[in-house]
Amino acid sequence: MISLGPLLIDLSGKAITPDEQDLLRSPAIGGVVLFSRNYESPEQLASLTEEIHALRSPPLLIAVDQEGGRIQRFRSEFSPLPSPRALGMLWDRDRAEARRLAQCSGWVGGLELRSAGLDICFAPVVDFWQKTSTVIGDRAFSSNPKAVTELALSWIRGLERGGIRATLKHFPGHGGVPEDTHQTAAADTRSMSDLMKHDLIPYRDLIGRLPNVCVMTAHVFFPVIDPRPASLSKYWIQEVLRKEMQLQGAVISDDLTMHALDTQGSLDERARLALLAGSDLILACNARPTLPALLRSLRDYHNPVSRLRLMHLHRSQPLARSALLQMPVWRESVKLLEAFQARTDLFPGERAGG
């Protein structure tokens, strides 16, 4: 038996290559992040996840970004989920219906991911909707803290009822900067007082209700508060998340290969900083040439508390897709989401799917 390590990596295609099998057996690896390139059909995906899980005991974790709207990695034969922004606009008109549809979205998405062998969904986004942030854009529910909190809570309850672990992101907030941290550094110059009155409200309230939820950190700099980006900051992770907000769940870094961290040293150094800051899982995607060195640098890493947190991230009992397709309530829920996304009154000239 090999304990789960702190590193989540990606795969090149729709099946595991021999080289990838060797990588995934490394003690430093804790799981896999899947993308659209890894998906062809529900059957192929289930076969891939079964193979990944069979490589190790305890099984490796398998995660995906399945937010709804424009960020949905698995599409063909998966139900299209509405964009969070559409749900936020509905909340402005009918809060109860918006909460119902948010929970329905999480439940449908969770069931479908669980039936394909996934463990973790990197959703919901609890960044705030702002016109200046195009990278977040309609991935955010609203600019209203109460709307963000209520809709995220409903989505999480649906996901977890469907048997999948949810992830709040991107802590402490990505909506206040126009830059895309995939491409460049981003700095938010607001004070802690300003953030406490706005961006941090959903985290405080949701963690208070769901202390074991996962949280993904952003690579955004908050220079008035700490010189490090949040994902590499002991202050943000250990002081704010762990001590002040009392988070018990896993902290997951956003992808350490993103260009926002170009000034933070090599991938090995970024990994070391993220783990020292308090991350339990760190992402390193599209980094195949540098992975051997990264794995060597993590060879002696040992954090029993993190490993215990990771053991709680596996999905609930398996669900066969054939059983899912026979569930009347799932079919009714899919039709409900389809009807919502056919509306054109939320986004003039557009559908509610984003």
Residues 130-174: tens digit of each pLDDT: 888 888 999 999 999 999 999 999 999 999 999 999 999 999 999
The verdict on residue 1 lying in a domain is: no
Rounded CA-CA distance 353/343 in Å is: 9
In a domain, 120, yes or no: yes
Mean pLDDT over 315-340 rounds to: 94
pLDDT of 199 over the 90 cut:
yes
Other beta carbons within 10 angstroms of residue 345's beta carbon come to: 9
Q: What is the mean pLDDT of residues 120-131?
A: 95
The rounded distance, in Å, linking the Cα atoms of 204 and 244 is 9
| Structure confidence at residue 80 (pLDDT) | 96
Asked if the model's pLDDT at residue 353 lies above 70, the reply is no
- Is the per-residue pLDDT at 20 higher than 70? yes
Averaged pLDDT, 104-123: 98
Q: Is the pLDDT of residue 25 over 70?
A: yes
Residue that wins the pLDDT comparison between 293 and 351? 293
Q: What percent of the chain has pLDDT over 70?
A: 97
- Hey, which bits of 5-143 come out as E strands? 7-10, 29-34, 61-64, 66-68, 71-72, 120-121
Residue 231's pLDDT band, with cuts at 50, 70 and 90, is: very high
Choose, from 19, 94, 182, 262, the residue flagged as catalytic: 182
Catalytic one among 127, 188, 199, 254?
Answer: 254
What is the spatial distance between Cα 323 and Cα 73, in angstroms, rounded to a whole number?
23
**Helix locations, 131-266, DSSP H:** 145-161, 192-196, 201-209, 234
Asked if pLDDT for residue 175 goes beyond 60, the answer is: yes
CATH number, domain containing residue 187: 3.20.20.300
Range of the domain at 116: 7-341
For residue 287, being part of any structural domain is answered with: yes
Q: What does the mean pLDDT of the chain come to?
A: 95
Residue 122 has pLDDT above 80, yes or no: yes
- In this prediction, residue 351 carries a pLDDT of 56
**pLDDT value of residue 345:** 79
- Predicted local confidence at residue 348, as pLDDT: 53
Q: Quick check: is 299 in a domain?
A: yes
Q: Which residue has the higher pLDDT, 131 or 66?
A: 66
Give domain status of residue 354, yes or no.
no
Q: Which of 45, 70, 66, 168 is nearest to 110 (CA)?
A: 66
Angle value at C-alpha 121, between 323 and 47, nearest 5 degrees: 50
Q: Measured between alpha carbons, how far is residue 266 from residues 70, 228, 251, 263, 285 in Å?
A: 31, 15, 21, 9, 14
Query: Count of domains in the chain?
Result: 1
What average pLDDT score do residues 118-127 get? 98
Asked, for residue 348, whether it belongs to a domain, the answer is no
Q: What is the DSSP string of 124-146?
A: -B-PPP-TT-TTTGGGS--S-HH
pLDDT digits (tens, 9 = 90+) for 41-56: 999 999 999 999 999 9
Q: Is residue 347 part of a domain?
A: no
* 349 pLDDT above the threshold of 80: no
Whether residue 344 has pLDDT greater than 90 = no
- Say whether pLDDT at 315 is over 70: yes
Annotated catalytic, 254?
A: yes
Mean pLDDT along residues 212-231 = 98
What is the spatial distance between Cα 277 and Cα 218, in angstroms, rounded to a whole number?
Answer: 13
| pLDDT tens profile 283-295 | 999 999 999 999 9
Give the pLDDT score at 33.
98
182 is catalytic: yes
Q: What is the mean pLDDT of residues 112-122?
A: 97
Q: Does any domain span residue 277?
A: yes
Predicted pLDDT of residue 354: 53
**Alpha carbons 54 and 33: distance in angstroms, whole number:** 16
Q: Per-residue pLDDT averaged across 186-201, rounded?
A: 96
Neighbours of 218 (CB within 10 A): 26
| Alpha helices (H) in 167-278, listed in sequence order | 192-196, 201-209, 234, 267-277
What is the model's pLDDT at position 343?
86
Tell me which residue has tokens 């039936």: 115
pLDDT at position 75, please? Answer: 96
- What is d(CA 22, CA 24) in angstroms, rounded to the nearest whole number? 6
- 175: which residues sit within 8 A by CB, 6+ positions away? 127, 128, 129, 130, 133, 136, 140, 199
| Contact of 254 with 216, CB cutoff 8 Å | yes
Number of Cβ atoms within 10 Å of the Cβ of 264? 18
Share of the chain above pLDDT 90, in %: 92
> CB of 315 within 8 A of CB of 163?
yes
- Per-residue pLDDT at 133: 84
Sequence-separated (6 or more) residues with CB below 8 Å from residue 42: 77, 78, 112, 115, 116, 321
Lowest-confidence segment of 101-105, 125-129, 246-250, 350-354 by average pLDDT: 350-354
